[in-house]
Structure formats: structure tokens, C-alpha cells
Amino acid sequence: MVDTFNEFGRSSGVLVHPSSLGGLGIGDLGQPTIDFIDWLAEAGQRYWQILPLVPVDSGGSPYNGLSALAGNPLLLSPELLRDDGLLSEDDLVKGQNLPIDRVDFAAVLEWKEEILVTAYRNFLSGSARNLAQPFDAFHAANEEWLADYTLFRAARDYHRGIPWTEWPKDLRNREPLALDRWKQLLFDEVGGYAFQQFLFARQWGQVREYAREKGIRIIGDLPIFVAYDSSDVWANRDIFKLDEQGSPLVVAGVPPDYFSKTGQRWGNPLYRWDVLKEREYDWWVKRVRRTLEMVDIVRIDHFRGFEASWEIPADAETAVDGEWVKGPGTAFFRSLAEQLGTLPLIAEDLGLITPEVEELRDELGLPGMRVLQFGFDGDPKNTHLPDNYTSVSVAYTGTHDNDTTAGWWQTLPSDQRHQVKRWMKEQHPSTWDLIRAVFESSSQLAVIPVQDLLSLGSEARLNTPGEANNNWTWRMGGHNLTQAVADRLRQLTHATGRASLPDE
């Protein structure tokens, strides 16, 4: 057992990423997020679960971030930057014409990059002088990761977005003289990216402090793997399984199963755990520490990879020819706990889970995940059937990778639909009936995607694994979290013993 934390009390929360909330072109960290936190408190909730806060490319996936340590500047509130004196009202006009029900990532990237350049230029010209000292302090405190990230982003822009392995050899290999030369060449651009991270830290810090005041704790998300074309891999080649040119030798994925005859080839580089162990997992310590600076609790995505990962030859087109390779196991978490103290973690233990993975999770005392949509395969011992939930778990109707519960019900095969009806003793179960089943379960914590609270169908699905397009774009748009929905959720929370406040 290592020093971990899994005591939520009997409680509940809501899953929604900031990008899906209100804002110009994309959900942001301004008033719409503050309003959402107010709504959570009104609804009697204790937890807000989000996805990774990392910077994204035009695909919008928070699981394919350009850095595992930086924040996503697309989530910056233009209105707050205007209030700071960094933007004018005219700078916001283009954003007011962007869609409100979907994120057009290409359009949002173009506009926000434009106004963030303007904000930095205005700052250098003397606007918002009150930010100068805090910016310097932020820069000094975060220089260790900020230097790599900002140069990576500036160099990536300079080279028109091509992967870092195609940059000039001296820059690709991070030769000291080359790094100094490129820092001078891209001085303004590097400074601009540092300023964006300062602004993100400032706005997110305000959001987190407000959540604390309202009694809301934030559950963040930390994927085990990082994107190949990221500052993380460019700056830390020695901890990944790469060749001398920096290309992956093996990549991550999952083996063939019932759902895919060829498995899934994700393409992320894999770790040299032996090298990391010799360095007392220093890069991971920095990553976890940084994540815990931004959130209260961390969900570890693909937890099973710490027991063993499916390694696929990099030149293989599918995942068929991969093999299981052991991960760092308990020693990794013990080292993190010794260096960081209590680790408030949730293990994402979905997919192909072996007894060894369960043993690792239980030895660490971590809560796993239970998803109602996975519970109706006819097996009465299915761990995702609410009857079988343990208290040391976090229960969901669905996750960001699932269809909405209404959409799932509409497409459910007739035999499974019959199982649901028989189990619930209800011929026409509603989304709220299924939410109630999760809330009534033994799991310490119940978390519901916001789409299910609004009883939305498949049109509101956020992500479909294995599909490259049309993911991550859903926004609440005209769907409002009304007082009536808050009242209904609060009543259910009280009725199932998950209330954050006593009955009034």
C-alpha cells in the first residue's frame, strides 16, 4: 500500500469539459464557467470532472496535447482579457460570429491566436502594467517546463506545423548552440507563448478558487501516454523508446478484441521505464505535481498500462502484431508518493482488465470506474452492473467516450434492452431512471455527464473512439442547465444520501 487517497464520502458530481460550456466560439474560463460552478452548488454537487486541460491542435483532442504540462489557451476568456485592458471590444467581434452549438476548432484557433498575439503586443506596449510583476514571477517559477514548451510551439509555427523530427537536425537534437540561436530568432514568439500560459494560469486559478469557495472539488484527467509530436517527447527523448533519429521503435495501442479484429493502434510513443526508474521517475513527478497544481483529484487514463502495455512495432499498420510488456507497477506509485505525498487518484480501469491490473489497483487502494452502459451483457457478475458496485469505485452512466445514455438506449440491441427493463423493473426507463440507478449504487462517488442531465441524444456525443473526425466539438449551446434541472438533481442527491449540504 502506498500513500493514496480514495475517500470521497458518499457524494456526486457532473462531467463536462470547459470547452463544452458557454463562450465565444468555444467554452472558456470566464463568466459561463463561473455560472456553471454556481449551478453545481445549487444542485448540491461536490465534484466537477473535466478532461485534460492541455493545449490542442486543430483536431481538438485533449488526449493528443502539444504538452502534458501546459494549459490550453483556447479556453482563455476574451472578455476577461478585455477587462484586463489587453483587448478592445472590436477584437471580440469575430468571435461573436462563431457557432454556439459546436466548436469549429480551425476557426477558433485562427481567431484566438490572432487576439492572443494582439494581447501580448498590447502588454508589451504598456497595457495592463499590473500584470508585469505577476508574469515575471510565473515565468521564474515555471521556467523548467515553460522554456521547452514555448520554444517548441514557436519552432513548430516557424516550420509550419511539421513534426519536430523533420526540423533541422541541430534543433531536432536540441544541440545547446542551436537552442540558443533559435531562442533569439523566435524571441517574441517564445515570449508570447509564455504570456499565454501566464494568462491561462491566472484565469484557471480564479476558476479553481471560486470552485473551492462554493465547495466544489475538481477531478482532472491525466492520460498515461503523451502525443508523439509534443514538447514532452522532443525535450525528453531519452525516456521514450525512440531510435537515433527520434522516430518511435514501438507505439501504444490495444490488442484485437470482440469490437475490433485488428485492435487499436494509437501511435503514442512508449516509455523506457528502466531509465525513468533510475531517475526516480523525475519526469512523471513533475507531471503529476503540475497536474495537482491545477486540480484536486486526478483520474489516471489507461491505468492498466502501469501493469502492462500493448507494444506495437512502429512500422506495423495494425495492432495485431503487438505484445504485452510489463509496466513499472507498485514501485512507480510508491516513488511518487514518497516524493509528492498523498496521491488523490482514480484508476480508469476500463477495457481489457486482467487480475494483475485489479491486484495493482487494489494494492494501491485506488477507486476504479464503473459504467452502467457496460453492465448489461447477461452476466450477473458483470462489475458494471450497479448491483455489483463496491464502495471503492466511481460510478457513471457513461463517460466522454460513450454515447449519451439516451442515444445508447435508442441503439441498444433488443436483447440487452430487455435485460435493462427486467433489471430495472421498468418497461420504459428514462435517462433519469438510469441516473437514479447509478446514484442508488454503493459507489462512493457518482458522476453524470452533463448531456445525460439534459436527456440529450446521440447528437450530443462528445467522442467516438476509433473515429478521426467530428469529435470533441459538442457544446451546450441553447441547452440550459435550468433551476428545474438543479432542483431535480439536488432532490435525487439528497434522496440517495449523496448530499453536500443538509436538507434545508
Q: Measure the CA–CA gap between 20 and 3, rounded to whole angstroms.
A: 34
Q: Measure the CA–CA gap between 232 and 37, rounded to whole angstroms.
A: 32
Question: Smallest Cα–Cα separation from 105: which of 163, 192, 16, 27?
Answer: 27
Q: Give the gyration radius of the chain's Cα atoms.
A: 23
Catalytic residue among 189, 348, 349, 403: 348
Q: What is residue 74's DSSP assignment?
A: G
Q: Measure the CA–CA gap between 310 and 2, rounded to whole angstroms.
A: 26
Consecutive H or E run containing 347? strand 343-347
Q: Is 470 left (phi over 0), alpha (psi -120 to 50) or beta?
A: left
Catalytic residue among 148, 232, 301, 403: 301
Does residue 137 contact residue 205 with C-beta atoms inside 8 Å? Answer: no
Local structure of 300: helix, strand or coil = strand
DSSP 413-430: -HHHHHHHHHHHT-SS--
Q: Measure the CA–CA gap between 370 and 181, rounded to whole angstroms.
A: 51
List C-alpha distances in Å: 27 to 3, 36, 108, 202, 215.
Answer: 36, 11, 11, 17, 22
For CA atoms 494, 497, 499, 503, the dihedral sign is positive
Whether residue 301 lies in the annotated active site: yes
Q: Is 487 left (phi over 0), alpha (psi -120 to 50) or beta?
A: alpha
Catalytic residue among 157, 363, 401, 440: 401
Q: Measure the CA–CA gap between 185 and 426, rounded to whole angstroms.
A: 67
Q: Is 351 left (phi over 0), alpha (psi -120 to 50) or beta?
A: left
Q: Measure the CA–CA gap between 309 and 319, rounded to whole angstroms.
A: 12
Whether residue 101 lies in the annotated active site: no
Query: Can you name the residues that pair with 47 across neighbouring β-strands?
Result: 13, 217
Residues 6+ apart with CB under 8 A from 432: 455, 488, 492
Type of residue numbered 383: T
Catalytic residue set: 301, 348, 401
